[in-house]
């Protein structure tokens, strides 16, 4: 695990948020965005938790019930991700292409909706930073500000989520999942 990974993505998210407030941003378009979208579409199915940390607390592995599910929808124009699938805190994210830019809308259990844009990431990684947050109660509230999918192999994935609160990075979460 790269402990500073989520913090760096959170910093990128803060910079991108500031840029988005003044003008449209197009951080990662073209071939890289399309390739990452195709990789995300290929995740379709159920993924099981091997290990994880949620906001500093270890999450118990569970190979019996899906932890994350991916479903290709809209004739291939969107991918629906459900995190904590089937649990009371289930969250939904939708990945899609928009004018050559890979985007993701996250419908959080906190009640807000961060909209993220693909940013350049490491080899084998689809990275996202927040551009705006819908249904945001106040500027100091906690929200998801960064996200990345690290493709570790055909049936192995590491998912990172960065959080921001009161304008500063506020920890994050990391889940290693496996497709059976």
pLDDT of res. 19: 37
Q: Where are the domains of the chain?
A: 5-178
15-35 per-position pLDDT tens digit: 444 433 333 444 566 789 999
Q: Does position 2 have pLDDT exceeding 90, yes or no?
A: no
Q: What is the pLDDT of residue 9?
A: 44
pLDDT average, residue stretch 35-44: 97
Mean pLDDT of 124-130: 96
For residues 31 and 37, which has the higher predicted lDDT (pLDDT)?
A: 37
Backbone φ and ψ for 154, nearest 5 degrees, come out as -60, -25
What pLDDT does 30 receive?
Answer: 73
Confidence (pTM): 0.85
pLDDT, tens only, 133-163? 999 988 899 999 999 999 999 899 999 999 9
Q: What is the mean pLDDT of the chain?
A: 87
d(CA 90, CA 108): 8
CATH 2.40.128.20 holds for 5-178: yes
Q: How deeply is 132 buried, as exposed, middle or buried, from its count of CB atoms within 10 A (0-12, 13-18, 19+)?
A: middle
CB neighbour burial string for 13-24, b if at least 16 within 10 angstroms, e if fewer: bbebbeebeeee
Above 60 in pLDDT, residue 66?
Answer: yes
pLDDT at 29: 61
- Would you state the pLDDT for residue 75? 98
Q: Taking residues 47-64, report their average pLDDT.
A: 94
Mean pLDDT (whole number) for 69-78: 98
| Element housing 83 (H / E) | strand 78-83
What's the pLDDT at 56?
A: 86
* Residue whose structure tokens are 């890979």: 102
């Amino acid at each position: 695990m790269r402990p500073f990974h989520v913090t760096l993505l959170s910093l990128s998210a803060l910079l991108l948020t500031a840029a988005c407030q003044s003008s449209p941003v197009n951080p990662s378009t073209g071939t890289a965005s399309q390739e990452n979208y195709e990789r995300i579409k290929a995740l379709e199915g159920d993924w099981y938790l091997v290990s994880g940390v949620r906001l500093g607390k270890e999450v118990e592995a569970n190979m019996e019930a899906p932890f994350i599910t991916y479903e290709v929808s809209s004739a291939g124009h969107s991918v629906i991700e459900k995190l904590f699938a089937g649990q009371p805190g289930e969250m939904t994210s939708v990945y899609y292409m928009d004018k050559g830019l890979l985007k993701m809308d996250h419908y959080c259990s906190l009640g807000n909706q961060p909209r993220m844009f693909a940013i350049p990431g490491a080899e084998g990684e689809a990275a996202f930073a927040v551009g705006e947050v819908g249904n945001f109660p106040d500027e100091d509230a906690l929200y998801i500000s960064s996200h990345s999918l690290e493709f570790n192999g055909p049936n192995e994935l590491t998912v990172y989520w960065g959080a921001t609160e009161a304008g500063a990075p506020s920890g994050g979460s990391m889940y290693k999942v496996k497709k059976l």
